[in-house]
Amino acid sequence: MTTLVDQLKQKVVETLNLVDIDAEDIDVNEQLIGGKLGIDSIDILELVMMIERDYAVKIDSKELGAKVFASLNALAEHIRQNSPETIN
């Protein structure tokens, strides 16, 4: 079974069409915005939609977004804590 973090790596690459990034190479502790992945504020909004759709977790303010999208690990943790279902 894939973990939430692995699932998220895959979804980030697919959702944002990160053509030259291999999902496995994403460092889970590295900052998401403005880091090596080349992710910006528009990408974050696209991820917000994906997370609400796939995990039923809302991220609806800039302040919250900055905290949640600090890294992939932080994102996974936020989803775990706020999802209506139990996710490992």
Partner 1 sequence: MTGIRVFIAGMGVITPAGRGVDRLQTLIENSDTALGMPNLFSISEDQLLPAGQIPDLFGNIQIPRTHQLALAAADEAMARLPGTIDAVIIGVTTGGILTTETHLKNGIHDPEKFLYHGAGTVAEYIAAKYCCKGPVITVSNACSSGTAAIKLAMEMLRCGPARRVLAGGADSLCRLTYYGFKSLQLIDPEGAHPFDKNRRGMSVGEAAAMLYLVADKNVPENAVAELLGGGLSCDAYHPTTPDPEGRGAVKAMKAAIHDAGITISDIDYINLHGTGTIDNDLCEAKAVKEVFKSDMPLLSSVKGALGHSLAASGAVEAVICALIVANGVIPANTGFCNADPAMDIEPLKNPVRVKVNAALSNSFGFGGNNASIIVGDCRKDRNVAPKSLAPLAVIGSACITGAGDMKKTLDRLVSGKNCKGLPGHVDISGLIQPSLVRRLKRLPRMAMALASSAFENSGCFEKPSSVFWGTGWGPLSETYDFLKKLYDSDEKFPSPTDFIGSVHNAPAGQTAMYFNAVGPNVTTTGGDYSFEQALFTASLMADDISDPLLVLGADEYHVHFSPLFDRSVAMERTRSDGGGAICLVKSQEQNKPIILPVFFGNADHDPDIVSFLAEKLGGNEIDNCFGAIFAGIPMAFRNRGEEQLKNFLKFTGCRCPIIDYRLLIGEFASASAVAVALASVFKRTGKIPGSLSGKTDGSLDKKGILVLGFGKFLTAIAIT
Stretch that binds partner 1, among 10-18, 22-30, 70-78, 79-87 (CB under 8 A): 10-18
Compute the distance between CA of residue 5 and CA of residue 88 in angstroms, rounded to an integer: 9
Residues 6+ apart with CB under 8 A from 46: 15, 16
How far, in Å, are 40, 86 from residue 50 at the CA level? 16, 18
Site string for partner 1, 13-32 (x = CB under 8 A): ---xxxxx------------
Site string for partner 1, 28-67 (x = CB under 8 A): ----------x-xxxx-xx-xx--xx------xxx-----
